Structure 1
Amino acid sequence: MSAGTDHKLFLGARLKRMRRDRGLTQTAMAADLGVSPSYLNHIERNQRPVSAQLLLRLAATYDVDLRRLGQEGPTGEAALSEVFADPLFQGLAVPRHELLHLVDEAPGAAEALLRLYSAFADQRDRARAAVIEGEPSAGGPSPADWVRDHIQSRANHFPALDALGEAVHASLDPTVTGDGFAVLARNRLATRHNLAVRVMPAEVMVEWTRRFDPHRRRLLLSETLSHASRAFAIAYQLALAEHDGELNALAEAARPPDDTSRALLKVSLTNTLAAAILMPYAPFQRMAEATGYDIARLERRFAVSFEQVAHRLTTLSRPTARGVPFFLIRIDQAGNVSKRYASGAFPFARFGGGCPRWRLHDAFATPGRIVTQIIETPDGGRWFTLARTVERQGYDGAGEHHGLAIGLGCELRDAHRLACARGLDLTSPEVTLIGPACRLCHRHPCAERAAPPVDRALTVDDWSKSVSPWPFASA
């Protein structure tokens, strides 16, 4: 097979889905792209590859990010492999080529299957918890999972909120950033909305870090919040005060399945708008590019925290000013995932935990320091990652402290744009091979393995001992 053949792109299913999402017929799209309807029909049926010229026309006509067009969406092979690794499907042994066919030829059906499994897994977990608590189980999808999936379906990018954030920032004073900007926002709440901000003792706030009293028109903030967290809380309240209608409309347009999901989505959208007010898109993206995505400098310029900068970096998908497509994951010391966002591909398991070979977990041993690593996932993808611990919001310094770790990463091909990667050999063959959760991972041998893969037979004998506690057959 020639090199040219190796690089042919067959994107029929993705092109068809993109056309249908825009409500276009094949004839209409063919006219937009300057090709014949029959040629477009051949492409959608994967009988013809997508040419470079057609890709450029797609980008120009429909504002398509070519970096994402060829990537798996939220329903990729890895996600479906994880679903079929559940013991529920033991004995089916669905081969990889069938999963790829489902993803490429029937992405809607694949997404439906993933949603159904997500609802099932959530209900199963609720039932197990109910048994432990001695209570009847409650069905229904998880609002947290629904909101997470909705945000990821938008690649964590909400252009309308970025535009509103820039407008609010400019109306205050576009020349002011940092702590001075938080003062301006606080004054805006007082003068325009008759709303006072008060910092209260921790013993008064009890478990609350932020609370709005609508009767006395007061925003109460816990003294345990850092300056960056206080500024974010003020920006959050300003977002609600000035754009509550737009936030409600965006939440309703997503058609959430229940009131809890709608409320949780509105909170997430308000957080996004607050970040856009504190870190307006254009100046934030320009400085990120100019400094090589130097998180420390971005923290100082906009008077925000490491986590706030890292989260904002996953939202830079404006077509005219794109940033590096980052993914972000936040875990506690037990490995529980509490945040998972990506502006591009996301290389890790959706339902399982992480891999102990990834240095995200090592960050807890060096609090406050950034650790970097080049990793390779089972599909051969290579990623540059950095990790650092952060304080939990509202930690008052008393008692036992259990912090969190933030993992931020991008595809290795983009790592040369990052200041923290300068001086590293990004072409070195020495990378850390990682996998998804152990029950899904086929890497062998692995001394860190905690459980055998569910779809492999164990190879146990009393004549030898592997470095892995769970040796298994290769297929």
Structure 2
Amino acid sequence: MAEEALFAGPAIRRLRKREGLTQAAIAARLEISPSYLNLIERNQRPISARVVMRLVEQFDFDPRTLREDEAIGGVEGLVRRFADERFADLGIDREEMQELLSAAPQAAAAFARLYDNAAPASLAADDPFAASRREIERWRNHFADLDVAAEELADEMRLSRGDMGLALVDRLRERHQLSVRILPQEVMPDSLRRLDLHARQVQLSEMLSAASRNFQLALLIAQLEQRDQIDAIAKGARFEDEAARGFFTRHLMGYFAGALIMPYGRFLRACEATGYDLPVLLRRFGVSFEQLAHRLTTLQRVGQRGLPFFMVRVDRAGQFSKTFVGASTARFVNSDVSCPLWHVHRAFERAGELQVQFVSLDVAGEREGGWLTMARTVEGRGEPGETQFVVAIGVEAVLAGELAQARGISLRSDDAQPIGPGCANCHRVRCSQRSLPPRGRKLHFDTIRRGVTPFELASS
């Protein structure tokens, strides 16, 4: 299966300058020749998946910098922004935009960021949930101190999959004098977990699965034993709204709980040994698909990195209720809704089945990047078997060749399903699934011909 060519000269050049190393020194650590590195830096040779992994192993390197142009929609993204009437007198043509993107991608990204944030910045600042998400992404959803503390506690408790629940119950009883009691749904109709300090009880709903019970107990341990460390991280964030701090703190509690159940070193070794085989990992650690998906986005420990997965949780209307990008390059998930061509929607009709799909971002007819994505339903709070959400994870195709779920899937760029970031933000042409016109794009109304979509885009 052919890998998509990835040119990353500016990113590699900046890394070398940051480290203060010569091309020969960098090449030696990457186990390639200096002449090959020189060609990579000049964008005359693509960078291979093996070299990408060496960069991650040898340096504190963010793989997202290899795909800087994707965050702004490539040259088409610049074309849309420079079409603003405020730039009309400058006469900047497409060729100049392409040169800017190739020679100075960070400068292009800086312009795009300033342009995009100019209008909606004040609105975004008022959204505490969005503010919390931005802080999580600033950390790349990796909190090293919490991982270390969780690993040490897991070793102390001698956690293993066979007695996970028992070990968590014992910890609460011996350390905090709390017993665990499972109560009927009619007693706890609106609660998953309740702490009764008068009775010294942790009360859990009978509707919780075994994996969810374990997670709730681990979450309580995080609240009881890691409060100071979690509060310290949360206080370091510059939130203007206490609700944003509350969302962020809740995320950190869940992060520790997941790290306790899936300790970093043991979990990463299992991922690498199995080719990130999702069904095997679910069984081995006794977790739910959503818990596993969360954990896969956090594996960014320096010198011990996993693959850069993203994760989203989607409802039937295509709305994202959770988005964790971490170190992934998949900026197309930073939207409010998903593309109907993405198989996250098919998963709702095939409950419990893993939907594997190779997708690429289509920007006005030009494909950018490629990701192997895997989606599956997860049960909501209602009756057993009631599916309310789909959780999807994905990793860049150039890194996905050895994954267990990639077997039998062509990762050739031509075989990717093109998708967009939701109709209102998508400038893809000739899409029969389009239900809304794209923002910021002129429309063409043809009285003679009717196309496959009621929203025909003007050529300029």
**1:382 deviation in Å?**
1.2
- Give me the whole-angstrom Cα distance separating, in 2, the residues matched to 1:85 and 1:204: 56
CA contact (8 A) 2:442 2:458 kept: yes
SS at the partner of 1:403?
strand
- Give the AA of the match of 2:382: Y
Alignment match, 1:125? none
- Decide whether the 8 Å contact of 2:359 with 2:417 is kept in 1: yes
Q: From 392, 410, 433, give the equivalent of 1:448.
A: 433
Work out which of the residue numbers 305, 320, 323 in structure 2 matches 1:340.
323
Q: Which structure 2 residues correspond to residues 28-427 of structure 1 after superposition, within 5 A? A: 30=20, 33=21, 63-65=59-61, 67-72=63-68, 76-78=71-73, 97=97, 104-105=106-107, 117-122=119-124, 141-174=126-159, 176-178=160-162, 180-342=163-325, 343-348=327-332, 350-378=334-362, 379-392=367-380, 394-397=381-384, 401-427=386-412
2-structure distance, mates of 1:202, 1:422: 42
Q: Name the CA distance, whole Å, in 1 between partners of 2:459 and 2:265.
A: 50
> Take 1:220 and 1:163, find their aligned partners in 2: how far apart are those partners?
29
User: How far is 1:11 from its partner?
Assistant: 4.3
After TM superposition, give the deviation of residue 111 of structure 1 in Å: 5.5
CA distance in 2, matches of 1:331, 1:268: 18
One-letter code aligned to 1:146: A
- Provide closer, same or farther for how the CA distance between residues 79 and 120 of structure 1 changes in structure 2, counting only shifts above 3 A: farther
Identify which range, 153-162 or 449-458, moves more after superposition: 449-458
- Superposition CA RMSD, Å: 3.7
What is the CA distance between 1:255 and its match in structure 2?
2.9
Identity %: 34
1:377, distance to aligned residue in structure 2 (A)? 0.7
When the two structures are aligned, how many residues end up with a matched partner?
A: 418
Q: TM-score by structure 2 length? A: 0.80
Deviation of 1:320 (Å): 2.2
Name the CA shift for 1:13/1:142 in 2 (closer, same or farther; >3 Å).
Answer: farther
2:421 is aligned with 1:436: yes
2:323–2:333 Cα contact (<8 Å) kept: no
Q: Deviation digits for residues 32-75 of structure 1, max 9, x if unmatched?
A: x479xxxxxxxxxxxxx9689xx99x9699942252343439x9
Q: Which residue of 1 aligns with 2:29?
A: none
Moved more, 416-425 or 186-195: 416-425
Contact 2:441 2:457 in 1 (8 A): yes
How far the C-alpha of 1:429 sits from its partner, in A, is 2.5
Q: Equivalents in 2 of 1:93, 1:447: separation in Å?
A: 32
Partner secondary structure for residue 286 of structure 1: helix
Structure 2 gaps, min length 5: 1-5, 24-39, 44-50
Q: Distance in 2 between matches of 1:423 and 1:352?
A: 32
Q: In the alignment, residue 453 of structure 2 is paired with which amino acid?
A: S
Q: Structure 1 pair 287/474, CA: closer, same or farther in 2 (3 Å)?
A: same
Supply the AA of the counterpart residue of 1:472.
L
Partners of 1:455 and 1:237 in 2: how far apart?
A: 47
Indicate conservation of the 8 Å contact 2:319/2:336, yes or no: no
Counterpart of 2:33 in structure 1 is: none
Larger deviation, residues 283-292 vs 196-205: 196-205
> How far off its partner does 1:311 sit?
1.3
SS where residue 442 of structure 2 aligns? coil
Mind listing any 5+ residue stretches in structure 1 that lack a counterpart?
1-5, 20-28, 36-48, 123-139
The alpha carbon displacement at 1:415 in A equals 1.7
Instruction: Tell me, in whole angstroms, the C-alpha distance in 2 between the residues paired with 1:425 and 1:60.
Output: 25
Deviation at 1:424, TM superposition (A): 2.4
Letter in 2 for 1:232: F
Relative to structure 1, the CA distance from residue 227 to residue 279 in structure 2 (aligned partners, 3 Å threshold; closer, same or farther) is same
CA distance in 2, matches of 1:277, 1:11: 35
Distance 1:115 1:164 in 2: 37
**Structure 1 79/382 Cα, relative in aligned 2: closer, same or farther at 3 Å?**
closer
SS at match of 2:290: helix
**Displacement after TM superposition at 1:402 (Å):** 4.9
Q: In structure 2, how many angstroms separate the alpha carbons of the residues matched to 1:144 and 1:110?
A: 23
Distance change in 2, residues 1:457/1:262 (3 Å): closer
- 1:273-319: CA deviation from partner (whole Å, max 9, x where unpaired): 00000000111111111111111111111111011111111111122
1:196 to partner: Cα distance = 2.1
Counterpart of 1:262, as a letter, is: R
> Structure 1: how far apart are the matches of 2:447 and 2:250?
56
Question: Equivalents in 2 of 1:217, 1:148: separation in Å?
Answer: 35
- Measured after TM superposition, the shift of residue 439 of structure 1 is 2.3
Q: What is the deviation of 1:403?
A: 1.4
- Secondary structure of 1:257's aligned partner: coil
2:444 aligned counterpart, secondary structure: coil
Task: Give the whole-Å Cα distance in 1 for the aligned partners of 2:254 and 2:57.
Answer: 32
Scaled by the length of structure 1, what TM-score is found? 0.77
What SS class does the counterpart of residue 273 from structure 1 fall into?
helix
Distance (Å, rounded) in 2 between the aligned partners of 1:326 and 1:319: 16
Once the 2 structures are TM-superposed, how far is the Cα of residue 262 of structure 1 from its aligned partner? 1.7
Decide whether the 8 Å contact of 1:83 with 1:114 is kept in 2. Answer: no
State the 1:374 CA deviation. 1.2
**3-state DSSP of counterpart to 2:398:** helix
